[in-house]
C-alpha cells in the first residue's frame, strides 16, 4: 500500500515538473480603435460614447490619425521572461494594391492577464490605406502561444 502511494506521488510530481517547463499563453481579447487627431478613442469614458465616437470616426475618415489595437493577453512565466506580441495587418492601399504591415512589441508574462497597445499611426497609417483584416499572435521565440484574428484573415 505504501509503495503504491509513493509511486502515485512520484508520478504526480514528475507530471507537475513537466507542465511547469512548458510556456503557455493565449490572446483573450483584441479591440481595434481609431484615434482622432488628439489621440482619443472616445470623448468621454462611457462605453456607449466610445462606440458612438468610433462610428463617427468611421464615417469622417479625415479626422482619424491612427489605428490602435488594445490586446488583452495572458501567459505563464517563461525562462527568459520575454515574449513577443505581434499584430499583422492586411489592407488595400493606393490604386487597389494590397498592403501588409506588422507591429511588434516585447511583453513580460505574469500571473494575471495584461493589456498591451500597438499603434499604427502617423505617415505609416496614412500610406497604409484601409485595413481589411488583422491577426494578433503571442510568441515565445519561434513558438506560437496564442492567436486571434479577424473574420477576413
pLDDT of residue 71: 97
Q: Is residue 20 scored above 60 in pLDDT?
A: no
Binning pLDDT at 50, 70 and 90, where does residue 95 land?
Answer: confident
pLDDT of residue 138: 96
In a domain, 138, yes or no: yes
Chain segment 126-148, per-residue pLDDT in tens: 999 899 999 999 999 899 999 99
In a domain, 51, yes or no: no
* Cβ contacts of 35 within 8 Å, gap of 6 or more: 41, 64, 65, 66, 67, 68, 119, 121
Q: Is residue 24 scored above 70 in pLDDT?
A: yes
Domain total in the chain: 1
* Cβ contacts of 126 within 8 Å, gap of 6 or more: none
In a domain, 126, yes or no: yes
Strand stretches in the chain, DSSP E: 25-36, 64-75, 83-92, 98-107, 114-121, 130-140, 143-149
In a domain, 9, yes or no: no
Global pTM reads 0.81
In a domain, 111, yes or no: yes
Task: Name the residue range of residue 30's domain.
Answer: 23-36+66-149
Find out whether 145 and 139 touch, Cβ atoms under 8 Å. Answer: yes
In a domain, 96, yes or no: yes
Return the CATH number at 103.
2.60.40.3870
Q: Map residue 125 onto helix, strand or coil.
A: helix
How many other CB atoms are found less than 10 A from the CB of residue 150? 15
Q: Is residue 5 scored above 70 in pLDDT?
A: no
In a domain, 45, yes or no: no
In a domain, 13, yes or no: no
Amino acid at each position: 500500500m505504501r509503495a503504491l502511494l509513493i509511486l502515485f506521488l512520484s508520478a504526480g510530481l514528475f507530471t507537475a515538473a513537466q507542465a511547469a517547463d512548458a510556456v503557455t499563453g493565449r490572446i483573450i481579447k483584441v479591440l481595434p480603435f481609431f484615434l482622432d487627431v488628439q489621440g482619443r478613442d472616445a470623448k468621454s469614458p462611457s462605453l456607449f460614447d466610445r462606440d458612438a465616437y468610433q462610428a463617427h470616426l468611421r464615417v469622417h475618415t479625415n479626422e482619424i490619425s491612427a489605428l490602435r489595437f488594445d490586446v488583452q493577453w495572458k501567459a505563464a512565466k517563461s525562462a527568459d521572461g520575454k515574449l513577443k506580441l505581434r499584430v499583422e495587418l492586411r489592407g488595400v492601399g493606393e490604386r487597389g494594391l494590397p498592403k501588409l504591415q506588422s507591429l511588434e512589441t516585447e511583453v513580460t508574462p505574469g500571473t494575471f492577464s495584461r493589456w498591451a497597445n500597438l499603434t499604427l499611426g502617423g505617415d505609416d497609417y496614412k500610406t497604409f490605406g484601409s485595413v481589411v483584416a488583422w491577426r494578433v499572435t503571442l510568441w515565445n521565440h519561434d513558438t506560437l502561444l496564442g492567436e486571434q484574428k479577424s473574420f477576413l484573415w
